[in-house]
Amino acid sequence: MEKIAITGIGVVSPSGIGKRQFWANIKSGRSFIKEITRFDASKYPAHIAGQIDDLEKYSHISERLLKKIDAFSHMALVASELALQDAGIDIKNEDPNLVGIFLGNAIGGWLYAETELRDLYLEGREGVSPYMASAWFPAAPQGQVSIYYGIKGFSKTMVSDRASSLMALGYARKVLYKNKLNLILAGGMEAPVTPYALLCCNTYGALSTRNDDPQAAYRPFDKGRSGFVIGEGSGIVVLENIQRARSRGANILGFISGYGTTCDGVDRINPASDGKELARAINMALNDAKAKPEDIGYISLDGLAVDLWDNSEIKALRLVFADALKNIPVSCPKSMFGNLLGASGALDMIIALLSMEHSLIPPTLNLDTPVLRDINYVAKQAREYKVNKSLIVSRGRGGINSALVVEKGSI
C-alpha cells in the first residue's frame, strides 16, 4: 500500500498545547504528572494524573458550544484547529464531501455524563441537560469536528481501548489510499480525569498508587514499576495523499507507511504472555511498509508499566527484531505526561515524527533499573540519533495489538 503524507500536527496535552511547546517539554524530559486538582480525588487509591489546566487559554470555542460538549470534544476541536493551521489548510477552500475524520477514544465523555446522571437522580429528568445524549458518546468529537468545519466526507470513530487512535490512523491511511477522500483529520482524544472515569481506571487495578511522588510514579520497564498513570488530551494530524501534498507545496512532516493489527484472544483484560500476536501485528506493519526489521531506527513502546504487559511487549519485539533489537533505541515518552488511553497512540506517533525531524529521541522517565536487559532503552534524558523510520506500538485491554510505521518527512 502507498505511503500517506502527514502535513499538520495538532497536540493538546499535559506537556503542552501546540507542537512547539509540546516538543520543548518532551525533549527536556520533564514530567507533568501531578496530584489531581480538578476535584477531590484524595480518597482514590491512585489520585495522580497528567492534567490540562489551561485549555481555555488556547481555545477558539464559544461558551455557547462549550456548554453542549464534553471536555474530550473540546480537546479534539482545539487539536483539529492546530493541525489545520499547521498544515496551512483552510477547510472553506476544500470540497467538504472529500474531507474525512478518523478519531479514536476508549471511554467517551464522562465529565459531562456523570454530572448529568447525578442531576438525573437528584432533580429528576428535567434536571438533565438535553445535550447529555449527544455529549458523552464516543463518536461525539467526530460529530463536533464535522459540524464545526462543515466536513461531510466518509468518517469513523474507533473504540478499541488504548489502541483506538493508532487504529484510527491506520484506517485513515487505507481510506486515503483508496482515493475516497482528499484529506483526513485523524488521531484521538481522551478525558479520563473525572471522578467516575478515574474510579473505573482504579478498579482496573493497573494504576500506580505512588501518590506521594507523582513524577516518579509511571516507570515503564523499570524494576520498581507499579502500574501506569492516566493523562488527558488529544493528538490529531492532517493526512493527505503525497501527490496532493506535494502539488500544494505542503511541508510533509512524515509519512504513514505501514499498519498492522491482531487480537490475542486469550483473556477479557490481559494480553497473551507470549507476545506472539503482537509480534504478528508488528510484522504486518513492517511488511505493509516494505521495511525490514533493521530499517527501523526507533521504537515507541506501549509501556503500561505492568509486569505482564511490559514483558510480553519486549517478547514480541525480540520475536520480530531478534539480534537487531539491541541496536534500535526504544522509549516510552508517555511516562512524562501520562497514558492518554485511547489517544495515546496518536501522541506517540506525533512524538516519533518530531523525534525524526529533530534527530532527538525522547526518554522514558524513571527507568532506573530495567527488568529485561539487552534492550537499547533511551532513559532519563533525550538522545541525539538520526532516524528515518519509526515503529509505534499501541495495545488495548482484551489483547488488542496495533503497530504503525512512520517515516521521516521532507523537511
Partner 1 sequence: MKDKVKEVLASLLKVKIEELKDDVSLQNSIGVDSTEMVESVIALEKSFGVKLNIKEITKNSTINDIASTIQSKLAK
User: Is there a contact between 379 and 223 (Cβ–Cβ < 8 Å)?
Assistant: no
Residue 377 has phi, psi (to 5 degrees) of -70, 135
Residues of this chain, 187-226, that bind partner 1 according to CB under 8 A: none
The reply to whether 67 sits near partner 1 by the rule CB under 8 A is yes
x/- track of binding to partner 1 for residues 140-179 (CB under 8 A): ----------------------------------------
What whole-number distance in Å separates Cα of residue 94 and Cα of residue 151? 9
Strands (E), 119-196: 156-158, 183-190
Of positions 43, 57, 64, 92, contacts partner 1 by CB under 8 A? 64
Looking at the DSSP bridge assignments, the partners of residue 331 are 300
User: Is there a contact between 278 and 309 (Cβ–Cβ < 8 Å)?
Assistant: no
**Residue placing its CB nearer to partner 1 in the complex, 68 or 118:** 68
Of positions 43, 54, 63, 122, contacts partner 1 by CB under 8 A? 63
What whole-number distance in Å separates Cα of residue 343 and Cα of residue 227? 18
**Residue placing its CB nearer to partner 1 in the complex, 124 or 249:** 124
Q: How far is the CB of 69 from partner 1 (least distance, A)?
A: 12
**Residue placing its CB nearer to partner 1 in the complex, 61 or 319:** 61
What whole-number distance in Å separates Cα of residue 143 and Cα of residue 131? 13
Of positions 85, 129, 182, 211, contacts partner 1 by CB under 8 A? 129
**Residue placing its CB nearer to partner 1 in the complex, 115 or 261:** 115
What whole-number distance in Å separates Cα of residue 234 and Cα of residue 77? 9
Strands (E), 199-289: 233-241, 254-263
The reply to whether 248 sits near partner 1 by the rule CB under 8 A is no
The reply to whether 68 sits near partner 1 by the rule CB under 8 A is yes
User: Is there a contact between 52 and 18 (Cβ–Cβ < 8 Å)?
Assistant: no
Q: How far is the CB of 401 from partner 1 (least distance, A)?
A: 40
Q: How far is the CB of 66 from partner 1 (least distance, A)?
A: 8
**Cα 153 from chain centroid?**
23
Residues of this chain, 263-282, that bind partner 1 according to CB under 8 A: none
For binding to partner 1 (CB under 8 A), which residues are involved? 62-64, 66-68, 126, 129-131, 134
